[in-house]
Structure 1
Amino acid sequence: MAQQWLDEQQQRTWRAWLTVSELVPRVLDAQLQRDAGLTHAAYVVLAMLSEAPGRSRRMSDLARRANQSQSRLSHTVARLEERGWVRRERAADDGRGNLAVLTDSGWDVVRSVAPGHVEAVRSAMFDPLTDEQTRALREALETVLDRLDPDHSLRVEHGDAVHDEG
């Protein structure tokens, strides 16, 4: 069977995707570093906690939602604890799991940083697109997601929060 290479359109699309998937996080990291001395990964942790009931999540759930390994999340949370923005607690329901809890100071950080972050997302991703292009991009990405995760077991559904990650 002969190797089937990407055609010209597929190759250009693939390379554009690779570049965008590298540059958008870099732009968002720069904005968050400038505005709050935060990495994008740390902001995602704060945002995921801010959206949770009681502003707390089990560490395992938080790792999945923040798309971080347990080890990386532990380091991220430790840095956020040092700043007084997150604290860890034992889970009250079973005493076995650990929770990450967003402190009042952490909540203040999310509220102050979210508007600039949303503007950076809008500027990087949506300002260059028409409404039709945005809809087409969403539909295309959802189609790829359905191929990669047909039973929705690998992805985390995100709400429509102001500081939600796109």
Structure 2
Amino acid sequence: METPWLSADELRSWRAFSDLMLVMEDALDQQLRHDSGLSHLHYSVLVFLSEAPEHRLRMTDLAENLKIARTRLSYTVARMEEAGWVRREDSPGDKRAQLAVLTDEGMATLEGAAPGHVTLVRSAVFDRLTPAQARTFGAACEIILSGLTGPERPALPLDLPWRR
């Protein structure tokens, strides 16, 4: 079977997207580290916990939300425990599961970091797009993400990160 190479337009789009992913992640991480001493991953953990009922999530659910390997999450949460932003608890309904719990200090850290983060996201993304473009961008991202995580995702050597 012959490889279906990308057209010039597809290659241009792919490179723009690939570069965007790398530069955006770096910009978000730099802004958060500079303004609040948080990595982008630490900020994301705090966000998901702040939005969860009672500010707690099973570690496996948190890994899935973050789209990262459980081992990476375990290491990250351990560092965040040292900082006093989260704590771990045994799950009352499942002796094998642990919960990550947002502390008051973690919530205060998130509240301090959020304005600068939102300002960067707005200026880098949404101030540059019309409302229609923003909706199209979001829809395209959802379609691509579904193709990588849904039932028809490509066969890869390893399972999804949060299942590893």
Percent of aligned pairs sharing the same letter: 47
Stretch moving more, 39-48 or 92-101: 92-101
Aligned-pair distance for 1:116? 1.3
Q: 2:160 matched to 1:144?
A: no
Aligned to 1:92: 92
Aligned-pair distance for 1:42? 0.9
Distance in 2 between residues matched to 1:147 and 1:50, nearest whole Å? 28
Stretch moving more, 94-103 or 54-63: 94-103
Structure 2 length-normalised TM: 0.85
Distance in 1 between residues matched to 2:70 and 2:21, nearest whole Å? 23
Aligned-pair distance for 1:35? 1.3
Aligned to 2:7: 7
Greater helix share, 1 or 2?
2
Distance in 2 between residues matched to 1:124 and 1:101, nearest whole Å? 31
**Which amino acid in the other structure matches residue 96 of structure 1?**
R
Distance in 1 between residues matched to 2:3 and 2:101, nearest whole Å? 51
**Deviations 1:57-97 (CA, angstroms, capped at 9, x unpaired):** 11111111112211111111111111111111111123331
Distance in 2 between residues matched to 1:140 and 1:119, nearest whole Å? 23
Aligned to 2:29: 29
Aligned to 2:66: 66
Aligned to 2:38: 38
Aligned-pair distance for 1:106? 0.5
Query: What SS does structure 2 have at the residue aligned with 1:5?
Result: coil
Q: 2:112 matched to 1:115?
A: no
**Which amino acid in the other structure matches residue 99 of structure 1?**
L
How many corresponding residue pairs? 154
Query: What SS does structure 1 have at the residue aligned with 2:101?
Result: strand
Aligned to 1:159: none
> What runs of 5+ residues in structure 2 fail to find an aligned partner?
154-159
**Which amino acid in the other structure matches residue 139 of structure 2?**
E
> What runs of 5+ residues in structure 1 fail to find an aligned partner?
155-166
Stretch moving more, 140-149 or 114-123: 140-149
**Which amino acid in the other structure matches residue 76 of structure 1?**
T
Structure 1 length-normalised TM: 0.84
Cα distance change of structure 1 residues 48 and 16 upon mapping to structure 2, 3 Å threshold: same
Aligned-pair distance for 1:132? 2.2
Aligned-pair distance for 1:147? 3.2
Query: What SS does structure 2 have at the residue aligned with 1:100?
Result: strand
